[in-house]
Amino acid sequence: MKNSKLLISVIVTAIITAGITYNVVQPRESVSSNPDDPFSKLRSTYDILQSNYYKDVDTTKLVEGAIKGMVDSLEDPYSVYMDVEEAKSFSENISSSFEGIGAEIQESNGSIMIVSPIKGSPAEEVGLKPKDVILKVNDESVEGLSVNEAVLKIRGEKGTKVNLLVQRAGVGELTFTITRDTIPLETVYYEVIEDNIGKIQITKFSETTGEELSNALKELQSKNVKGLVLDLRQNPGGLMDQALLMSDLFVDKGEIILQVEDRTGAKEVYKAENNKVVNLPVTVIIDGGTASAGEIMAAALHQSAGIPLVGEKTFGKGTVQTAKAFDDTSSVKYTTAKWLTPDGSWIHEKGIEPTVKVELPAYANLPYINPDNVLKVGDSTPEVNAAQQMLKALGYTDISEKGYFDENTEKVVKQFQEDQGLTVDGKITKDTTIKIIELIQNKIKDNDTQLEKAISVLKEQL
């Protein structure tokens, strides 16, 4: 008996040392499963939990959890199960306006990452950049969340605010306070710029984008423009059929637009089906926010129509997804194939290199300054450094750029406030911050080096 107690003591000690506590009151019983039926184990687990779990079990949660686990096991950031609310959010993003911050996000190596902010959106205005990694939403970690779960935390009613903590490569952690707004359906913007050149910006590929582009081309051609600059920067992609439809306008009939390779290696080749509509010189601007369908179009126009690409390397998304809806409107989005450029290249996680590499001025990539924060003498933060660099870019060259708000910085801030008709107190508060950001944004527009180079390259073709 004594030895028996000693044995029990040793076992308990070993369990506690291992950090594990068991309170098993019955011996384990094996559960039979049919090796010929891969779902028998799943059904048995469901039955066990339904019958024996110590609390009532929500059947819907069990089933949806199983489906999510199945899809997550693919370890593919573009394949996800979406419950009813998540599926509705996904559908809105493709087909209609919605309320939120206006940024495309994806899961990348277990993190939630910005693919691209949408043109004119709150996300773009505050300075979110492609490949910013979201760490927290309203002080809640997004670690372990799916893309759709993160989207539901970020979205909200127009006029409400959301706080994002992001990690930016080479910069560190940044905090953004963003006021949600209505993100419009319009995806194509056009205008006539210098020397009667037409400029078209495409912000994403939704259900109406092909029609919008056709209308823009008709309007610009009616104005007898001499050439076109197609701006695909910060375009996160969207519907593949729209990319095919739109590329067809620029590529000769019979030329390859896209190849799609399935799991067996079989390839389906998509070619231009119509005579091209655009017979003018064209250049395309791309950057790190050009992704997916945006990359399809950029590659097609470059490789099959000889159109030069100007800017920076694209994002690098080379897979195709489809979504299947269930009767309750929940759905599963999953990857069906790789897409390849006309010459057969797979650009996934590599991106497309521009023909002519051009970066924006350094001040175009400065981090956001939160207008709700007060920056004053004695502060030493990344926001102080950003403010100093912005002020220097605006012509206040005597300012320090060390990130420490010293007396010289206060002096320069007072001068800036006086020049702009603001309250002169030497602190960077809401009105001063907003004015600095406004002037920097105007300066970026006035000094768009990528657009300037695209125009220059276009003129060489005239």
Please give the pLDDT value at position 12.
39
Q: Measure Cα distances from 97 to 17, 94, 121, 243 in Å.
A: 57, 9, 12, 20
Please indicate whether residue 141 is annotated as part of the active site. no
Residue tagged active-site, from 119, 129, 204, 317: 317
Coil, strand or helix: which one is 229? Answer: strand
Residue tagged active-site, from 89, 321, 345, 400: 321
Superfamily of domain 97-183: PDZ domain (2.30.42.10)
**At a CB cut-off of 8 Å and minimum separation 6, what does 232 contact?**
202, 284, 285, 286, 290, 294, 297, 298
- Asked if residue 180 lies in contact with residue 157, where contact means CB atoms within 8 angstroms, the answer is yes
Please indicate whether residue 292 is annotated as part of the active site. yes
Rounded CA-CA distance 117/102 in Å is 6
What is the residue type of 290?
T
- Asked if residue 415 lies in contact with residue 399, where contact means CB atoms within 8 angstroms, the answer is no
Per-residue pLDDT in tens (0 to 9) along the chain, 462 residues: 445 444 444 433 343 334 444 455 555 566 666 777 888 889 989 999 999 999 999 999 999 999 999 999 999 988 999 888 888 877 766 554 678 898 888 887 788 999 888 878 899 889 898 889 999 999 999 998 888 888 889 988 899 999 999 999 888 898 999 999 988 778 999 999 999 999 999 998 988 999 999 999 999 999 999 999 999 999 999 999 999 999 999 999 999 999 999 999 999 999 999 999 999 999 999 999 999 999 999 999 999 999 999 999 999 999 999 999 999 999 999 999 999 999 999 999 999 999 999 999 999 988 888 888 999 999 999 999 999 999 999 999 999 989 999 999 999 999 999 999 999 999 999 999 999 999 998 999 899 999 999 999 999 998
Burial state string for 243-274 with b = 16 or more CB within 10 A and e = fewer than 16: bbbbbbbbbeeebbbbbbbeeeeeeeebbbee
Q: Where are the beta strands (DSSP E) in 129-247?
A: 133-137, 140-141, 161-168, 172-179, 181-183, 188-193, 197-202, 227-231
Please indicate whether residue 317 is annotated as part of the active site. yes
Coil, strand or helix: which one is 53? Answer: coil
Q: Measure Cα distances from 173 to 134, 138, 176, 179 in Å.
A: 9, 15, 10, 20
Superfamily of domain 188-361: 2-enoyl-CoA Hydratase; Chain A, domain 1 (3.90.226.10)
Phi/psi at 370 (5° precision): -75, 120
Please give the pLDDT value at position 260.
98
- Asked if residue 262 lies in contact with residue 342, where contact means CB atoms within 8 angstroms, the answer is no
Element (H, E) at 338: strand 331-340
Rounded CA-CA distance 215/222 in Å is 11
Q: Domain segments of the chain: what residues? A: 97-183, 188-361, 375-446
Q: What CATH code is assigned to 375-446? A: 1.10.101.10
Residue tagged active-site, from 247, 292, 303, 389: 292
Matching residue, tokens 């006309």 = 342
Q: What is the DSSP string of 230-277?
A: EE-TT---B-HHHHHHHHTTTS-TT-EEEEEE-TTS-EEEEE--S--S
Q: What is the DSSP string of 57-109?
A: --HHHHHHHHHHHHHHTT--TT-EEE-HHHHHHHHHHHHS-EEE--EEEEEET
Same CATH fold assignment for domains 97-183 and 188-361: no
Please give the pLDDT value at position 94.
59
